[in-house]
A and B are shown apart, each in its own frame.
Chain A
Amino acid sequence: MLKNIPNKVIHKKIMHIFILLIKLQPIVYNAIIMGNQKLYKGSLQTIILKLLEENDKMYGYEITQKVKELTKGELSITEGALYPALHKLEAERLLDVEVTTVDNRLRKYYKLTEHGTKETVNRLAELEEFIATMKTIVNPKLA
């Protein structure tokens, strides 16, 4: 069967597979060695938006604890990643802030803006699509 296909095409296909393997290598490596933490990194903003969609308003520390609780400790959002993500979402006007005095200190709450609520739907759809695509690559038989 391969005889009918020109050599150039075969080489191209092999190159594509090779490039795909190189691209997948860090993902597979992270999934096995790094305990999945890096895989979640790109989805951090979507995770925050989803939590705020369900909880009306939340403060930074509460978000870290909620994620830990929901994932039974599998995923822990680091402080160094959480606040930059929150500030980015705030600058993009997806989040609004509210400050109240609690236990002798000021607490900054984040909540979704109208634009943020719409964007959450889009980002969740994008994430689901990404997960489906990943499934087709990682396990083509199930797709």
Chain B
Amino acid sequence: MKLTLEQIQQLYIFTRQHYVEHFDVQTELVDHLANDIEQIWKTQPNLSFEDARNISFKKFGVFGFMDIVGERQKALSKKYWKIIWSFAKDWFQLPKIILTIFIFTLFTIACRSKFGEYFLFSSLMIMCVYGLIKAFQLKNNFKKRIKSTGKKWMLEEMIFSAGMGFFTMIPINLINIFNLSNLDENMIYSNWFTLLYAAIFTLLVIGFYVVIEVLPKKAEELLTKNYPEYKLV
């Protein structure tokens, strides 16, 4: 006995009720439950759909689907960082490396000038404000996407929010570090320190650009590449 389309839809609702929000994870679990229910029906054909589903769900243990969702999130965030790196590494190859060297030099010169402190602080502030505005815009875009498709994909959520959180937190934390650290002035204005600042800022600018500008624009392409089912539904 095979499950009907209606029963499959009920399984999607069931996974949602058990805290599985993302369509990609739901789909895999729905197929697993459906296969198991059909297997159960082979030995107990008189069992109702709900009873067979409950027997199958119990096999997932006391935490239900939560472990699977958590582990999926971990695995996908690794993938997300690999995607960021795949775009960021372009900035260390020709022709973009010229721009990277330019940004690095600009930061180095700025750090060594007598306005270095103000320059660093204001660039961090600009990044924070710009990051927050962009985060707000991307969140709205994400909501619109969910409304129009009715489906939420885990990678999509990461593209439109997760990385943003991380990259907006870095500048805020850097400001705190600058404020709280009581470093010796000679040390702060030493050559090594200015080079370190410039390197951190350059990496931050590149990371910021990839996460805020590149990934959301490439969202469709990335989702199609990572989810073969994306175009099927």
Per-position binary interface string of chain A over residues 99-131, scored 1 when its CB falls under 8 Å from any chain B CB and 0 otherwise: 101111111100000000000000000000000
Nearest CB of chain B from residue A54's CB, rounded to whole Å: 20
Which residues of B lie under 8 Å from residue A99 when comparing CB positions?
A: 27, 227-229, 232
Does any Cβ of A come within 8 Å of B185's Cβ? no
Compute how far the CA of A99 lies from the CA of B28 in the bound complex, rounded to whole angstroms: 10
Does any Cβ of A come within 8 Å of B157's Cβ? no
Per-position binary interface string of chain B over residues 62-80, scored 1 when its CB falls under 8 Å from any chain A CB and 0 otherwise: 0100011001100110110
Compute how far the CA of A5 lies from the CA of B172 in the bound complex, rounded to whole angstroms: 63
Chain B interface size range: 20 to 34
Does any Cβ of A come within 8 Å of B35's Cβ? yes
In the complex, the answer to whether A61 meets B32 with C-beta atoms within 8 Å is yes
Nearest CB of chain B from residue A98's CB, rounded to whole Å: 6
From the candidates A79, A87, A91, A98, name the one contacting B32 in the complex (CB within 8 A). Answer: A79
Which residues of B lie under 8 Å from residue A97 when comparing CB positions?
A: 228
In the complex, the answer to whether A61 meets B233 with C-beta atoms within 8 Å is no
| CB-CB nearest in chain B for A107 | B31
In the complex, the answer to whether B8 meets A104 with C-beta atoms within 8 Å is yes
Does any Cβ of A come within 8 Å of B4's Cβ? yes
Which residues of A lie under 8 Å from residue B227 when comparing CB positions?
A: 99
From the candidates A84, A103, A104, name the one contacting B68 in the complex (CB within 8 A). Answer: A84
Which residues of B lie under 8 Å from residue A107 when comparing CB positions?
A: 31
Say whether, besides A90-B75, A97-B228, A84 and B67 are in contact (CB < 8 Å). yes
Say whether, besides A84-B68, A91-B78, A108 and B34 are in contact (CB < 8 Å). no
Nearest CB of chain B from residue A122's CB, rounded to whole Å: 20
Q: Which one of B28, B39, B79, B229 has the highest number of Cβ atoms from chain A below 10 Å of its Cβ?
A: B28
In the complex, the answer to whether A61 meets B72 with C-beta atoms within 8 Å is no
In the complex, the answer to whether B61 meets A78 with C-beta atoms within 8 Å is yes
Does any Cβ of A come within 8 Å of B147's Cβ? no
From the candidates B71, B82, B229, name the one contacting A83 in the complex (CB within 8 A). Answer: B71
In the complex, the answer to whether A84 meets B71 with C-beta atoms within 8 Å is yes
In the complex, the answer to whether A60 meets B31 with C-beta atoms within 8 Å is yes
Nearest CB of chain A from residue B149's CB, rounded to whole Å: 15
In the complex, the answer to whether A108 meets B28 with C-beta atoms within 8 Å is yes
Nearest CB of chain B from residue A57's CB, rounded to whole Å: 12
In the complex, the answer to whether A83 meets B36 with C-beta atoms within 8 Å is no
In the complex, the answer to whether B79 meets A91 with C-beta atoms within 8 Å is yes
In the complex, the answer to whether B5 meets A60 with C-beta atoms within 8 Å is no
B13-61 interface (Cβ within 8 A of A): 27-28, 30-32, 34-36, 39, 59-61
In the complex, the answer to whether A60 meets B28 with C-beta atoms within 8 Å is yes
Given contacts A61-B32, A99-B232, 19 further A-B contacts (CB under 8 A): A60-B28, A62-B35, A78-B61, A79-B59, A79-B60, A80-B67, A84-B67, A84-B71, A87-B76, A99-B227, A99-B229, A102-B31, A103-B2, A103-B3, A104-B3, A105-B30, A106-B27, A106-B31, A108-B31
Chain A interface (Cβ within 8 Å of chain B)?
A: 59-62, 65, 78-80, 83-84, 87-88, 90-91, 97-99, 101-108
Chain B interface (Cβ within 8 Å of chain A)?
A: 2-5, 8, 27-28, 30-32, 34-36, 39, 59-61, 63, 67-68, 71-72, 75-76, 78-79, 82, 227-229, 232-233
